[in-house]
Every structure is written in structure tokens, then in C-alpha cells.
């Protein structure tokens, strides 16, 4: 069955961030840039062709596993991921604190 955008509920509050995360798409390890995130999903940027509609995606964000996701849409290097579970709001706050304010010295990407 094909998923279309109308069937995917727009998640509450989207928060912008820019964070390199280690993800697995069809069990391949792919590093993607997390562009925004909400309780129900996120937007990621990879290399064009890195994913296909319906692919299962797992991501580790700031040392924490995000809910299992599915690629819901793709536009060039950008893709939308719909989480199967909800991301806990406190987790989102934590993420945005980790990444949003670069008042601390820049973190190495290796910390994931």
C-alpha cells in the first residue's frame, strides 16, 4: 500500500537543528544531517538517492536512539521520516539544548 502525505499526521511542533547523525537505512550505515525534528518525525538531508520511500530508518541522536522511522517523502537530498512511536517531548528539549546553542565549544561529531 502506498503511503501519501495526507495520511501522515503533521506532528506538533517542529524544531530546527543541524546535527550530523548516524542512521541505518535498510541496514546500511548512513550519516545524515538532521534538519528538523518533532515528536512524530524529522527531516534529514543525505546524498541524493540515499533512501527510498518506505525504507525503515533507525537513528542515534545525541547518544539516544530515536524511534524507528519510515521514509515518508523524498525531494532530492532531503527526506521526511515518520516515527512509528512518538519522540518524548523532554527528549526533544534535550536535543535542542545539545545542538541549538553553540555557547559551548564545538562538539566533535565522533561523540555519537
Q: Where are the domains of the chain?
A: 12-77+84-101
Where does the chain have alpha helices with state H? 89-99
* Per-residue model confidence (pLDDT) at position 10: 53
Q: Mean pLDDT in runs of 10 for the chain (112 residues)?
A: 50 78 90 92 92 94 87 95 89 76 47 48
Half-sphere exposure of 83 (CA within 13 A, CB side): 19
* Per-residue model confidence (pLDDT) at position 110: 54
* Per-residue model confidence (pLDDT) at position 35: 93
Distance CA 38, CA 89 (A): 8
* Per-residue model confidence (pLDDT) at position 104: 42
* Per-residue model confidence (pLDDT) at position 97: 78
- Per DSSP, the three-state class of 29 is strand
* Per-residue model confidence (pLDDT) at position 9: 52
Please tell me the CATH code under which domain 12-77+84-101 is placed: 2.40.10.220
Cell reading at 95: 536535543
Distance CA 84, CA 93 (A): 20
* Per-residue model confidence (pLDDT) at position 92: 85
Amino acid at each position: 500500500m502506498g503511503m501519501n502525505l495526507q495520511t501522515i499526521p503533521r506532528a506538533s511542533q517542529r524544531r530546527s537543528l543541524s546535527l550530523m547523525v548516524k542512521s541505518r537505512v535498510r541496514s546500511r550505515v548512513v550519516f545524515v544531517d538532521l534538519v528538523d525534528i518533532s515528536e512524530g518525525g524529522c527531516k534529514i538531508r543525505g546524498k541524493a538517492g540515499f533512501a527510498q520511500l518506505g525504507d525503515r530508518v533507525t537513528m542515534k541522536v545525541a547518544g539516544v536512539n530515536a524511534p524507528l522511522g519510515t521514509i515518508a517523502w523524498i525531494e532530492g537530498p532531503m527526506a521526511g521520516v515518520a516515527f512509528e512511536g512518538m519522540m518524548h517531548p523532554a527528549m526533544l528539549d534535550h536535543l535542542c539544548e545539545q545542538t541549538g546553542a553553540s555557547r559551548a565549544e564545538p562538539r566533535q561529531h565522533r561523540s555519537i
